[in-house]
Amino acid sequence: MSEPLTWGGATGVGSVPGTDPAEALRVVLGELPGLPHLPELPARGPGADLVGRSAALLVDLAVDLTPAGWRLVPRGGVDLRRAQELLARDLDALHDVAEGHSGPFKVQAAGPWTLAASLERERGERAVVDPGARRDLGQSLAEGIAAHVAAVRARVPGAQVVVQLDEPSLPAVLQGALPTASGFGRLPAVAAPDVEAELGSVVGALPGPVVVHCCAPRVPLDLLRAAGAAALSFDLGLVQDLDALGTAVDAGVHLLPGVVPGTDSALPQAKATASRLRAWWSELGFPADDLHAAVTLTPSCGLAGASPAYARAAMTHVREAARYLLPE
């Protein structure tokens, strides 16, 4: 990047309701101008989901959709083409709606462990059990995301592109909690040093700063930081490891705490959310004046399951709550 990144006060996790990429972008740009993101629209169907959308980025690897989910195959078919076409439509909308945007802009993709945990090999078991398959997936994913970032920059020349890797399956990988293909057993846990090394290889190969997002319980914050993440995105209500958060802040890692639910619910006053953040920050033991620069507020997870009205309200809420964090 030509300039240091200034993190915005608020952003989204990625997914939003609806099927119109141009309209979704207009909402995101209007509500989250400090750090807008490329919206994901899973309601469009297969290929717009996290796994299919990310698989569409893979280089020299193909997938197909089966009744059990996405599977690695020798040659892609109609399902992969659909996923690629949906992504292309998003980039067309980006050019039409956001060409004049200048500053940070976030794109999202499944991280290597979630992708390996979600894709089956041809022989029917998840790719996560095969070190060779994991290595190939990680390399292909990093190359594909880099090309995606270049495509975004070509359409929005003023964008400072931030990459977010979504890793909702990572705790299950570490805990040995992933079910087998049959559903009757559990896959063995993967050792933390292997998880860190393989995630770090992908993070290190990507252009610009990388956010790693996980809104599942037991987020391995220390592992994500050690793997090279520039920022950590998590559900504030699920993370209790204050020592790991403090270590991350001391190391200069930016935090993206999720502060409101991702599905329809009663939202508190933005000022009350800001007060909750100040109390949390004080418990971490850092000066109050440092809070606004150290965090970017988000919903706790994606908004795909929310109503359009709630999704917009949640974006407005995190933006307004972030303003209350500014020093007086």
Q: Is 115 exposed, middle or buried (0-12, 13-18, 19+ CB in 10 A)?
A: buried
pLDDT of residue 1: 44
Choose among 131, 128, 139: nearest CA to 61. 139
Tokens read off for 7: 């993190």
**Calpha distance 12→15 (Å, rounded):** 8
Inter-residue contact 224 to 255 (CB < 8 Å): no
Q: Which residue has the tokens 């998880």?
A: 195
Please give the radius of gyration of the chain, using alpha carbons only, rounded to the nearest integer. 19
For 235, phi and psi rounded to 5 degrees?
-80, 115
- Bridge pairing between strands 298-299 and 159-166: unpaired
pLDDT of residue 182: 77
CATH assignment of 21-323, among 3.20.20.210, 2.60.120.560, 3.90.1300.10, 3.20.20.70: 3.20.20.210
**Calpha distance 257→236 (Å, rounded):** 5
pLDDT of residue 264: 97
| Sites in the chain below the pLDDT cut of 70 | 1-3
pLDDT of residue 272: 98
Choose among 158, 110, 143: nearest CA to 1. 158
pLDDT of residue 3: 64
- Over residues 15-63, the pLDDT tens digits come to 999 999 999 999 999 999 999 999 999 999 999 999 999 999 999 999 9
Helices 270-284 and 242-250, interaxial angle, to 10°?
Answer: 80
| Ranges of each domain in the chain | 21-323
Contacts of 306 (CB under 8 A, 6+ apart): 16, 17, 262, 263, 264, 314
- Over residues 247-281, the pLDDT tens digits come to 999 999 999 999 999 999 999 999 999 999 999 99
